[in-house]
């Protein structure tokens, strides 16, 4: 993890973090360590014990040893990095500090105070004695993969620390994750931010917090985009799962919410952040670009069926702020797959071949899909179809094209099954209501296209109006043959994937 500060602060007060004990806090109380606010300095403010400081500060040590305090995490997990903030501690900061962790099991922690002091409790050092700078934000990565529930901060020999942030990933209760639908990207379940395009006004990790946003500063907000493109954030799901419902909350964002959003997912074999970000991935659109409202919680349940996912890419167009994102779904049973996929895997070879040909008219593609059965999960189902299509010859692509009717017509060059005819009709539903002059223009364009390229004009017409299709047809007529063949193949791929989704859901 290159930027561990993208992760949640497992000791944050709003996540339940508490400082449970300290050997000394004579000048400033230990509870200040976890305060959510940034530390401040007030000139001339004193208490009856000395200068008021916004942090944890111990008295001057006159005996050997070090001072310490113990923090109970709000969310048990794996530590990836630490921020030891010594802001305003200049002549009174510790020279060194170290961190130890222990795991007391599941909440509630019975006999917590006694166990934390017991010699039998195993404390593991995750950060050795390390120099600190005064009046600074000291950041250090942690190389340790064990789960822990408590952290012991040691300062050498004494002094003051303003804030302590313990960045990491939650280790959720696996049994609870399997019981039903959960927020697969919620920080409390192990979801995490990997990277984002921008976080100028608000950090993307705020999206994943289980509590409500208190203001605009408690969400993810990007700067105003002045050039092309859009903003995005890549998230790691807590476990491989199928997303069934999406909530996008723009609470508090009124004049600066995004115009629209979309969500894409992928399935990666390696969960490690650096490995994932360095590798190419096939992103599948589960929620197409959709309009958003100001200060509103949007719920989307009509989603594309793209199978199991391990990561999500949340896109906002072109920029703006979102307070919370929820991806509700169910963990995938890797051994048996979903009930819908089991139904396909149980088809006879003849029935499966017919079903596959309804989705794509290439006989070679259908045969290779049969060879790959049974599919372990929906992800493998879609990925296999995608890769097999890309590997086909141009002749096989052309064979698939012949199973589609021209836009505005009902009959294809090759006979379609009843199911394929029904799907074609549904895909062109918006075209049927076109004005007569538009239908006439489409007919002329289809003829010109076929004369130039030798095959039917193919476009993924689902959701497109006749005018939009006509514009695409006129633009593509200007392509050279090689460019157009690959453009048509990409349109066929989109149609194929949509039909495979229908096949899985039927």
User: What per-residue confidence (pLDDT) applies to 99?
Assistant: 98
User: What per-residue confidence (pLDDT) applies to 335?
Assistant: 46
Where do the domains of the chain lie?
A: 4-169, 174-331, 339-505
> Taking the mean position of all CA atoms in its chain, how far away is CA 162?
32
**Per CATH, is 174-331 categorized as 3.40.30.10?**
no
Phi-psi region of 320 (alpha: psi -120 to 50; beta: other; left: phi over 0): left
- Sort 376 into a burial class: Cβ within 10 Å, 0-12 / 13-18 / 19+: middle
CATH class of 339-505: mainly alpha
Domain 4-169 homologous superfamily, CATH? Galactose-binding domain-like (2.60.120.260)
| Residue 39, CA distances (Å) to 9, 26, 54, 148, 261 in order | 16, 18, 6, 27, 36
Distance CA 411, CA 361 (A): 14
pLDDT mean for each 10 residues of the chain (506 residues): 83 96 97 96 95 97 96 94 97 97 89 90 95 97 90 98 96 71 93 94 96 96 95 93 95 97 86 72 91 98 87 97 96 61 84 92 93 80 89 93 83 74 75 79 91 92 84 93 94 90 80
Do 323 and 213 touch, CB atoms closer than 8 A?
Answer: yes
- Give the DSSP letter string of 200-247: SSB-GGGGG-SSPP-SGGGSEEPPPP-SSS-EEEEEEEEEEEEEEEEE
| Entry field: residues in the chain | 506
User: What per-residue confidence (pLDDT) applies to 1?
Assistant: 46
Do 445 and 457 touch, CB atoms closer than 8 A?
Answer: yes
- Same fold: 4-169 with 339-505: no
| Residue 363, CA distances (Å) to 88, 332, 386 in order | 73, 31, 15
């Amino acid at each position: 993890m290159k930027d561990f500060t993208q992760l949640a602060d497992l000791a944050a007060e709003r996540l339940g973090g508490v400082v449970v004990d300290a050997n000394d806090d004579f000048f400033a109380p230990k509870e200040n360590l976890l305060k959510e606010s940034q530390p401040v300095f007030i000139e001339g403010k004193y208490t009856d014990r000395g200068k008021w400081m916004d942090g944890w500060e111990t008295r001057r040590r006159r005996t050997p040893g070090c001072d310490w305090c113990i923090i109970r995490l709000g969310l048990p997990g794996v530590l990836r990095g630490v921020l030891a903030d010594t802001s305003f501690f200049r002549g009174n900061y510790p020279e060194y500090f170290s961190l130890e962790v222990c795991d007391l099991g599941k909440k509630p922690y019975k006999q917590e105070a006694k166990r934390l002091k017991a010699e039998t409790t195993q404390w593991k050092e995750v950060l050795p004695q390390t120099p600190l700078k005064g009046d600074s934000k000291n950041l250090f990565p942690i190389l340790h993969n064990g789960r822990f529930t408590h952290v012991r901060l040691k300062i050498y020999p004494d002094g003051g620390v303003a804030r302590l942030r313990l960045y990491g990933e939650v280790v959720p209760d696996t049994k609870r994750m399997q019981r039903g639908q959960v927020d697969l990207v919620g920080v409390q379940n192990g979801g995490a931010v990997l990277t984002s395009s921008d976080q100028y006004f608000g950090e993307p990790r705020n999206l994943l917090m289980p509590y409500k946003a208190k203001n605009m500063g408690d969400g993810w907000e990007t700067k105003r985009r002045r050039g092309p493109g859009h903003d995005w954030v890549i998230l790691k799901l807590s476990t491989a799962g199928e997303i069934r419902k999406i909530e996008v909350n723009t609470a508090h964002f009124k004049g600066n919410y995004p115009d629209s959003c979309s969500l894409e997912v992928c399935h990666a074999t390696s969960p490690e952040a650096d490995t994932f970000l360095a590798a190419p991935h096939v992103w599948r659109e589960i929620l197409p670009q959709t309009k958003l409202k100001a200060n509103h919680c949007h719920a989307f349940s009509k989603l594309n069926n793209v199978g199991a996912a391990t990561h999500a890419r949340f896109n906002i167009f072109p920029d703006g702020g979102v307070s919370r994102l929820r991806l509700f779904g169910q963990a995938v049973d890797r051994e048996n797959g979903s009930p819908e996929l089991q139904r396909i895997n149980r088809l006879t070879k003849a029935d499966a071949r017919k079903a596959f040909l309804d989705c794509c008219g290439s006989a070679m593609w259908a045969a290779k899909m049969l060879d790959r059965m049974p599919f372990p999960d929906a992800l493998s189902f879609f990925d296999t179809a995608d890769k097999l299509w890309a590997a086909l010859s141009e002749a096989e692509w052309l064979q698939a094209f012949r199973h589609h009717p021209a836009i505005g017509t009902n009959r294809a060059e090759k006979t379609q099954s009843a199911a394929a005819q029904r799907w074609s009709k549904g895909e062109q539903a918006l075209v049927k209501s076109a004005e007569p002059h538009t239908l006439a223009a489409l007919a002329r364009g289809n003829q010109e296209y076929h004369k130039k390229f030798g095959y039917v004009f193919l476009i993924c017409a689902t959701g497109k109006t006749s005018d939009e299709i006509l514009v695409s047809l006129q633009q593509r007529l200007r392509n050279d043959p090689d460019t157009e063949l690959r453009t048509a193949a990409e349109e066929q791929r989109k149609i194929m994937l949509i039909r495979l989704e229908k096949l899985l859901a039927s």
